[in-house]
Amino acid sequence: MNSRNIVIITGSSRGLGKSLALSFAKSITNPLDLVLVGRSTNDLAATKNLIIENRNNLETTCKIIEADLSDLSSLPQTSELIFAQNPQHNYSNAYFLNNAGSLGRLSHIGSSDDLIDFTSAINFNITSSCYLTSEFVRRLSGLHNIEKAVVVNISSLCAIKPFPSWGIYCAGKAAREMYHQVLAQENSKNHKLRVLNYSPGPLDTEMQRQIREGENVDKEIQAIYRDMYMNNVLVDPQVSADKCLALLLSDSYESGAHIDYYNVKADGSLDL
């Protein structure tokens, strides 16, 4: 019997998350259960249609979970829906792509004192993200037939480098990355659990539009990203997603490592 894979992707209604869903749909020929999470039902349904079209007749299920991951009061119920499994399906590989993220307020530190901006960004980008990784580990990584459970935290250059006016975003990415490094360290002798902090490059997505158009974004930083957009050098999210999956399948990374898009070759090998 073909081994079965489950792939759970938060923020899969657009941008990198949607592209990651397509990468898995195209590359995994084994039976595949995809779980797509986001707020926009229509966009999630569009991702699902794309997946089904690209699976041809390969055995596939695709579940949509419409949820606001910044709402901590409903997070335990949302987690229940995300990680509930069909008891008939004995997974050999389980992937959790912890991708959903937001920029939060972009402005220089000291220019805004809105506590709600702080808490909503932190609830979503740190608390919810770390909680869901913990839930994945608890519920799926120890399943009887699991050969490999993989957690991918979608990180950023901002996890390791300060960017003026992106304080909350950088802090969130740094916290999230450290949490996933701890997970890797805790499992250094458990070769079935693999952790990757993948920095996907400057992507041509909605998030970049917010940087180009934000009123309070640091002007020098904004000029850099506007130039990249004008010169067409932002990274296509599909190219980045394909590289991320190639890297996962090649298994060429150290668990817990921060790996940047620009250091991954198309075949998934590293160019450090």
Ligand X SMILES: NC(=O)c1ccc[n+]([C@@H]2O[C@H](COP(=O)([O-])OP(=O)(O)OC[C@H]3O[C@@H](n4cnc5c(N)ncnc54)[C@H](OP(=O)(O)O)[C@@H]3O)[C@@H](O)[C@H]2O)c1
Binding site for ligand X (CB under 6 A): 11-17, 38-40, 43, 68-70, 99-102, 124, 154, 156, 200, 202-203, 205-208
The answer to whether 138 touches 79, Cβ cutoff 8 Å, is no
Q: At its nearest, how many Å lie between ligand X and the CB of residue 16?
A: 4
Nearer to ligand X, 91 or 166 (CB): 166
Nearer to ligand X, 18 or 55 (CB): 18
Q: At its nearest, how many Å lie between ligand X and the CB of residue 193?
A: 21
The answer to whether 102 touches 14, Cβ cutoff 8 Å, is no
Nearer to ligand X, 31 or 121 (CB): 121
Q: At its nearest, how many Å lie between ligand X and the CB of residue 15?
A: 2
Estimate to the nearest angstrom the gap between the alpha carbon of 151 and the chain centroid: 9
Nearer to ligand X, 11 or 214 (CB): 11
Q: At its nearest, how many Å lie between ligand X and the CB of residue 4?
A: 25
Other beta carbons less than 10 A from residue 126's beta carbon: 18
Closest CA to 152 of 241, 69, 22, 89: 241
Residue nearest to ligand X (CB): 15
Nearer to ligand X, 124 or 136 (CB): 124
Q: At its nearest, how many Å lie between ligand X and the CB of residue 70?
A: 4
